[in-house]
Amino acid sequence: MKKIPEKHLMALLIAVAFIVLPHAWNLPPAIFAFFSILLIWRFITIWKKQWLPDKALIFLLTISGMVILFAQYHTVFGRDAGTSLFITALGLKLMETRKPKDVILITYLAFIVAASLFLYLQNIFMAAYIFLVCILLFGTLVLINNPRQHLLPTFKQSFIILFQALPFMIVMFIFFPRLEAPKWMFLNDSHAAQIGLGNTLEPGSISRLGQSDALVFRVRFSGTIPPPNERYWRGPVFSYTDGKRWSQIKAESNEIKTIKPEFSGTPYVYTVLQEPQKQNWIFALDLPAKYPAQTVRNASYQLLSSKNPQNRAEYQITSYTKFNTGQITQKEMVDNLQLPERPSKKLVDLVAKLKGSSQNPRQLIKNTLNFFSNSDFYYTLRPPLMPEKPIEAFLLEHRRGFCSHYATAFVYLMRIAKIPARVVTGYQGGKFNEMGNFLEIRQANAHAWTEVWLEREGWIRIDPTAAIAPERIEQDVNIDLQIAYGEVNFLRNQSENILGKWLKHAGLIWDNVDYHWQLWIINYASSNQKSLLQLLGIQRLEMLGYLLIGIFSVLTSVLIFIMFYKKHTPDDIVLSIYQRFCSKIATKGLIQTTGEGAKDFAHRCKHKLPHLANQIDAVSSLYLQIRYGKLNSPDKIAELKSLVSSFKP
């Protein structure tokens, strides 16, 4: 039985280790630990071959791997379970690797595991990482087919081969018919955890998001960009409360309101590139007026998409920040005056005090905001726990809270005063990237504000947080410091040293590159391909086939020319002239042997042909000077050519 050289097996195991390593953050510890034990075991058996498991032990290991797999997922379908199955199979196959054909099978299996990394992360770094591990895997195949070759030349050859394949990969990516997400939905786990806004709002739910830098969406404006205090990205709207938790009115989340808002002011035209999420929500600038055909605007003016939310999606939207929603229905009035129970006397007295003698709702709103601003209220990511009657405890006792505390308390007070009010959640602000001219909104930008309904004005936005921390609205969140210290931080205009400015500039460049990578590569779908083909005048599949054949023919011809064409260097020309001299000498029965240098060959020729000794010396001496000395000039090459031409044995 043909054995696998130790260095080849070691190269394979190292390649497999690099492929599976990033999955340490994706899979359960039990699965990753099981594979790691098998890999380390196989490493040891390179030198301790007697430790290789027999068939019975491999069978027991296989049963153990399946038990661990089903204990974690109870299935082999889905992204995580399927990836775990391949990794487990890869580890088990390593244990029975004995022959070169086993290495080939493992290499192909490792390619599948490498591709599975894209199911978790699709940035440029991951693409470069996978390309490097593919070089290692492909190099292993080269080694199996050419065992005598050394490692470094092998991986260099592997890189060259894969680099030559890149043009074909790019053409296939751009023009080959796209397989859309519905055909591959079995790869996505519906239960996969994703951080973000939820269907309900509880005290502290948004403050937890304040310490996450996870990307939610990016926005590129076609023209004017709204000022920071108007960058409200509308999400779910909550009208019902049980005193602790706020939730959407079920019918309202799906119904479409027949009364259309009246828009005024500047229209903002923009494109949203939204990251995968749990819900089918689109976070549009408040308030969306025009949106894609696959999108609806429900009765709460929130945009809902018919696309699969677990896929990255792009939407073109037009919004106005000035609007009048008009009248509300009787049901809306009842829903947005709802209270879970009769309010306490303390809260009723507080509303009466804030209301005073004025019957104007605007005056009550102003007085309530002044109450927040002038009293001992604090804006914090770490509010105290208020399990019992949280709104009353917040307003009258603790007075420390995040945006959701202020928004829910404000709505509660408005409802006591018989003013329809509701809580709106979404995101506020966004970091502007001047390199790419787009906004970047992350989970730390999550926010809650309120809407109250006023006669002849409709639903108007009131943000109580602005009364406590106006910088939250005027400035963007400093996510790094907020995560580091666990308290609210904002980006202020501060002087930076040269290193700080360089790092900031480098970060902006990277964010811009990553945005375009996500936009043009990761988000490249059948709609983008269709637009490109229409631009090229390709309407039929037959025309696309002719185009692909033509492109592949050109690329193949270019590669063949590069592979077989060799430009003649001066050394090649000198050698060619000398070989012509050797051919002339060969007519006298004198042939240069393998390993015989020009000097030794000349000595042997002079001994056999003494009457040509001077000419042989002249040719050989000049050839050696040009070839190995510093006389490699056009004149000397021409002189050598003349000597060989005049040489007639």
**At 84, which amino acid appears?**
S
| Per-residue DSSP letter, 522 | I
Residue at 213: amino acid letter: D
Tell me how far apart the alpha carbons of residues 599 and 439 are, in angstroms, rounded to a whole number. Answer: 74
Distance, in Å, from the CA atom of 428 to the CA atom of 304, rounded to the nearest integer, reads 19
- Does residue 63 carry a pLDDT above 70? yes
Q: Are the C-beta atoms of residues 483 and 211 closer than 8 Å to each other?
A: yes
361-374 helix and 345-355 helix, angle to the nearest 10 degrees:
110
Q: What pLDDT is attached to residue 266?
A: 92
Q: Which two tokens stand for residue 363?
A: 């005056």
What's the pTM value of the predicted model, to 2 decimals?
Answer: 0.68
Query: What is each CA distance from 502 to 453, 506, 544, in whole angstroms?
Result: 48, 6, 46
Other beta carbons within 10 angstroms of residue 189's beta carbon come to 17
Mean pLDDT of 127-137: 87
The span from the CA of 38 to the CA of 491, in Å, is 49
Res 182: pLDDT = 43
Cβ(126)–Cβ(117) under 8 Å? Answer: yes
Inter-residue contact 284 to 303 (CB < 8 Å): yes
Percent of residues, the chain, with pLDDT higher than 70: 88
Note the pLDDT tens digit of each residue in 175-218. Answer: 877 665 444 444 445 444 456 788 888 876 777 776 788 889 99
Higher pLDDT residue, 112 or 542? Answer: 112
403-416 helix and 345-355 helix, angle to the nearest 10 degrees:
80
Residue 471 region by backbone torsions, left for phi larger than 0, else alpha for psi between -120 and 50, else beta: alpha
430-458: per-residue pLDDT in tens?
A: 888 887 888 999 988 899 999 999 999 99
Structure tokens at 507: 């970060």
Give the helix/strand (H/E) hosting 67: helix 55-73
Are the CB atoms for 519 and 274 separated by under 8 Å?
no
- pLDDT, one tens digit per residue, over 380-398 is 877 777 778 888 889 988 8
Identify the bridge partners of residue 262 per DSSP, sorted by sequence position: 324
What distance in Å separates the CA atoms of residue 345 and residue 626, rounded to the nearest whole number? 107
Mean model confidence pLDDT for the chain: 83
**Tokens encoding 464:** 């109580």
Cis status of the peptide bond prior to 508, with omega within 30 of 0:
no
| C-alpha–C-alpha distance, residues 324 and 289, integer Å | 12
Higher pLDDT, 566 or 151: 151
> What is the pLDDT, as a whole number, of residue 413?
95
What does the chain come to in residues?
649
Q: For residue 502, is pLDDT > 80? A: no
Predicted confidence (pLDDT) per residue in 243-296, tens digit: 888 999 876 556 667 678 999 999 999 999 998 888 899 999 999 999 998 899
* Cα–Cα distance, 152 to 233 (Å, whole number): 53
Quickly tell me which residue has 């229409």 as its tokens: 534
Tell me the C-alpha distance between 211 and 202, whole Å. 17
Q: Which residues are paired to 427 by β-bridges? A: 233, 446
Distances (CA, A) of 282 to 40, 224, 238: 47, 21, 16
State both tokens at 491: 């980006």
Q: At 120, give phi and psi (nearest 5°).
A: -110, -35
- Write out the DSSP string of 589-615: T--PPTT--HHHHHHHHHHH-GGGHHH
